[in-house]
Homo-oligomer: A and B are copies of this chain.
Amino acid sequence: MSPGKTQDGRVIDYQELQRHNKATDCWVALHGQVYDLTSFLDEHPGGRRLILAQAGTDGTEAFEEVHSKDVISRTLSPETLIGALDQETVPEKAVKLPGSQPKGTMAEEGKPDLARVLNMYEFEYIARKTMKKGAWNYYSSGTDDEITLRENTSAFQRVWLIPRVLVDVSRINFETTILGYPSSAPFYMTATALGKLGHMEGELALTRAAGKSKIIHMLPTLSSFSLDEMTAVRGPDQVQFFQLYVNKDRKITERIVKQAEARGCKALFITVDAPALGNREKDMRTKFVDDRPAEMEEKDVKRSEGAARAISTFIDDTLCWADIPWFKRITHLPIVLKGIQCAADAVLAAQHGVAGIVLSNHGGRQLETARSGLEILPEVMAALKSYYADHPGPEMEVYIDGGVRRATDVIKALAMGAKAVGIGRPFLYAMSAYGQPGVEKAIQLLKDEMNMALRLLGAPTLAHLRPDMVDARNLGLHVGPPIRNYLSEAVYEPLAFGNHKL
């Protein structure tokens, strides 16, 4: 008899577990406990198929590939727990198949040496070529036609730099502070979900690399590792922030926030642009790859209707400005609102006395044709300048994220008024391709580019960056979808001539 008993002490043997193996009756064992996931199937952000594949078995190994242990308590309601699995009844494990080896060690032979990687694009390219398709699709996808996704990078390329010459640039210094905490560069590692998809060390690789490079890491709510694990690897002087998806159950939210504060996180970034998950079709296709029995098809038709409802189980879609004072009461951490997208909301944020805002469209993963953070920046800075002229006092810091691939991108945002810039996917791709050394290299490449670009711009320190160093007149100019609209083009049949091939 195995020890780990539940409240009512119920113990389940493997033969019983095996009987609950279908969509209408779905048990799965995780870390020695047996859960009834039948009603959770439609709420699983990763789709019902991943759970159904483990129905009636011990799913711990598959679970571990993506999740940290504490995700169970964070997402499953207590009544789903059936009891403890009697380990003695479990048959011998099958030999591990080659396909199930940890992701971080795959396709090593074909990759370029890390020393030869020259820029962020190259990390992305190598990740695309070497990652598992499903993981690549999860990281890289955006919403709908991916117009906003591509616009995020494209926007920076409509802003031009205006360098000054004959300035002494022998001493370059781009250290700064973010919310008063020192950072070796004016960018931070923003929160990204499910780090284990790309590399077995996941968020641990990311946060260790950030620590070694003395930049700040914003720990995600939807991490693959637990908050304890992520804060445990923090270096002595390292600063970590915490990103929060607000749970509908405010008790859970309060517990998470207090845990983050207790574990030493220095700021709370509340995501405000995700009352529902965006429609990421590249990602959704991954889940349709394998065949399915007809029984599930009908179900799926309904599922699509309920996708928005499903996520609402986790994320509070009633969250509104009136809730901000409550957050201030439950924590001493400075509060930053992540996902502000217009001047009016920026002023509201200032009025609610938060410490900062992130101008962000969530990496192009939420509302299609939302504008880039960079495009919003000038109108936000102007509105805040006007607001603070009337309301003197401490001023919020303004950050942007989305689409950054070059240090010149960072510099443009700073010249236009941002205090710092969040970078997400580039570090995920570096991690997926090369693990922690890849992330460190990526940070270093950006710092090298910073050093070079500040010299060439004639701006030896960040204080030298001024609005007149950029020509941003074309930022609001959109002549069509960035690059091209691949979906429109795919369905349009070009005109041709009579009997002739073009």
The residues of B that contact A456 with a CB separation of less than 8 Å are 273-276, 278, 366-367, 370
| Pair B319/A168 contact, Cβ less than 8 Å | yes
Q: Give me 15 A-to-B residue pairs in the complex whose CB atoms sit less than 8 angstroms apart, sorted by A's number.
A: A117-B498, A118-B284, A144-B406, A158-B479, A159-B369, A160-B370, A162-B371, A164-B344, A274-B456, A279-B449, A307-B452, A367-B456, A474-B476, A474-B477, A490-B495
Find out whether the CB atom of A452 lies under 8 angstroms from the CB atom of B489: no
Does A254 count as interface, using CB distance less than 8 angstroms?
A: no
Residues of chain A in range 259-290 having any CB-CB distance to chain B below 8 Å: 272-276, 278-279, 281-282, 284-285, 288
| Closest chain B residue, CB of each to CB of A248 | B170
With A273-B456, A276-B456, A479-B479 as contacts: A150 and B492 at CB distance below 8 Å: yes
New A-B pairs, 15, CB < 8 Å, besides A144-B408, A344-B468, A486-B496 = A112-B497, A112-B500, A115-B298, A116-B300, A125-B500, A144-B449, A153-B488, A165-B272, A165-B341, A168-B318, A169-B318, A170-B275, A172-B308, A368-B453, A479-B479
**In whole angstroms, what is the CA distance A321 to B340 when docked?**
42
A262 to B357, CA, bound (A): 60
CB <8 Å contact, B448 and A163: no
Given contacts A320-B168, A498-B116, contact A453 B367 (CB under 8 A): yes
A16 at the interface (CB under 8 A from B): no
Contact: A164 with B342, CB < 8 Å? yes
Q: How many copies does the complex hold?
A: 4
8 Å CB contact of A308 from B452, B474, B496, B498: B452
Separation of A207 and B28 alpha carbons in the complex (Å): 45
How long is the Cα–Cα vector from A489 to B497 in the complex, in angstroms? 12
Closest approach, in angstroms, between the C-beta of A398 and any C-beta of chain B?
Answer: 15
Contact of A157 among B124, B369, B490 (CB under 8 A): B369
Q: CB of A304 within 8 A of chain B?
A: yes
A472-484 near B? 1/0 per residue, CB < 8 Å = 0110111111111
A81 within 8 A of B: no
- A498 and B369 within 8 A (CB): no
A387-423 vs B, Cβ < 8 Å mask (1 yes, 0 no): 0000000000000000001101000100000000000
A445 proximal to B (CB < 8 A): yes
Complex contacts, A112 vs chain B, CB 8 Å: 497-500
Give the distance to chain B from A54, nearest Cβ to Cβ, in Å: 22
Asked if A488 and B121 make an inter-chain contact with CB atoms under 8 angstroms apart, the answer reads yes
Give complex CA distance A441, B301 in Å: 8
| Closest-CB distance, A297 to chain B (whole angstroms) | 5
Tell me the smallest distance from the CB of A274 to a CB of chain B, in Å.
8
Give Cα distance in the complex from A115 to B128, angstroms. Answer: 28
Q: Is A341's CB under 8 angstroms from B162's CB?
A: yes
Contact present for B487 and A121 (CB under 8 Å) = yes
Q: Distance (Å) between the CB of A271 and the closest chain B CB?
A: 9
Residue in contact with A272 in the complex, picked from B145, B146, B166, B170, CB distance below 8 Å: B166
Chain B residues contacting A368 (CB-CB under 8 Å) are 161, 406, 408, 453
Whether, in the assembled complex, A113 has its beta carbon less than 8 Å from a beta carbon of chain B, the answer is: yes
CA distance A486 to B153 in the complex (A): 13
Q: When the two chains form their complex, are residues A163 and B452 in contact, meaning their CB atoms are under 8 A apart?
A: no
- Cβ-closest chain B residue relative to A146: B495
Q: Per-residue 0/1 for A442-458: is the Cβ within 8 Å of any B Cβ (1 yes, 0 no)? A: 00110111011101110
Question: Does A92 sit within 8 A of B, measured CB to CB?
Answer: no
A341 to chain B, nearest CB (A): 5
A47–chain B nearest beta-carbon distance, Å: 13
For the complex, what is the distance from the CA of A278 to the CA of B474, rounded to whole Å?
Answer: 25
Q: How far is the CA of A275 from the CA of B171 in the complex (A)?
A: 11
Q: Does A8 contact B (CB under 8 A)?
A: no
Closest chain B residue to A470, Cβ basis: B369
Tell me the complex Cα distance, A366–B154, Å.
21
| CB of A50, distance to nearest CB on chain B (Å) | 17
Q: Would you call A95 an interface residue if the criterion is a C-beta within 8 Å of the partner chain's C-beta atoms?
A: no
Q: Does A140 contact B (CB under 8 A)?
A: yes
Residue in contact with A166 in the complex, picked from B164, B301, B319, B484, CB distance below 8 Å: B319
